[in-house]
Amino acid sequence: MSHNPILIEPEELEPLLDDDKLLLVDLGKPESYSQIHVPGAIHLDYPLLLAGTKPAPGLLPSEERLTHLAGMLKLDPTSRVVAYDDEGGGRAARLAWTLHYLGYQRVQVLNGGIHAWNNEGHPVSEDPVFPDDTQTLPVISHDPTVLATRDYVLEHLNDDEVVLLDARTPEEYAGTKAYAARGGHIPGAKNINWQDTMDPDRNLRLKGASQLQNMLTLRQIDSQQEVITYCQTHHRSAHAWMMLKSLGFTRVRGYAGSWSEWGNDLTLPIEQGGS
């Protein structure tokens, strides 16, 4: 299984800081950014990546908002985006997933985020960086293989070539804790709590590839299948998407509606219990 460079390590990033084609994007909390960030990074408010409307706030934002995002980041074929956050990569992964959906793959996530960067002695700054006046850039294309819609998930529930990965807690998966009209999970989904894929002893980097692969093998998830990740709002499951991409999985979709859409739609099938 080939390694997909969706991740970049701090020691790989530092020599690139003077590259004028590099765009660093901080998706951490605003107060964290104001105190410490990678030199040259702009701050991006995470809600810009979401529709934000109930009952499924994690759906993709409007085309107008996506065009605004492309303009803010000045996406072009020669640019290189590196995203990070202060929580282990979930928000940064959501940006990476969004850019992949927009057909832009020159994006990486800083493994371990600001924790790894700062704790391992790389340079930091308190000086805010403001993006230039946002220009309007048309979104050139969309990659439909990155996104799973409600109907797509429903259509593939009994497809042996497609597997669902639920990145929520075991309690949410079982239905004993619910943040929607119904608790439980999408039928057939396998559960890996996103926090179990992080290594707290390595500044919240992803765990080693062999550890992650063992988790997937135990749940009968392999790279020959198409994997659809979901959680509550496609935040934790964007991290799971990133994890699979880092292992070389090529067929990975994110279900943006996630459980907030599925669990609130009383017409859709669910399962409860299990592990």
H or E element: which one contains 211?
A: helix 209-218
Residue 10: in which H helix or E strand, if any?
Answer: helix 10-13
Residues 175 and 184 sit within 8 Å (Cβ to Cβ): yes
Go through the chain and tell me how many residues it has: 275
Three-state SS at 28: coil
d(CA 52, CA 1): 36
d(CA 153, CA 148): 6
> Pick from 186, 184, 160: which is nearest to 172 by CA?
184
- Whether residue 123 is preceded by a cis peptide bond, meaning omega within 30 degrees of 0, is no
Question: Which residue among the candidates 165, 198, 231, 238 is catalytic per the annotation?
Answer: 231
> Helix, strand or coil for residue 214?
helix
Reply yes or no on whether 231 is catalytic.
yes
CB of 72 within 8 A of CB of 64? Answer: no
Structure tokens at 172: 């949410």
> What is the number of alpha carbons within 13 Å of residue 127 lying toward its C-beta?
5
Q: Tell me the C-alpha distance between 52 and 57, whole Å.
A: 4
* Residue 90, C-beta contacts closer than 8 angstroms, at least 6 positions apart: 194, 235, 236, 238, 239
The Cα–Cα gap between 188 and 56 comes to: 21
Active site residues: 231
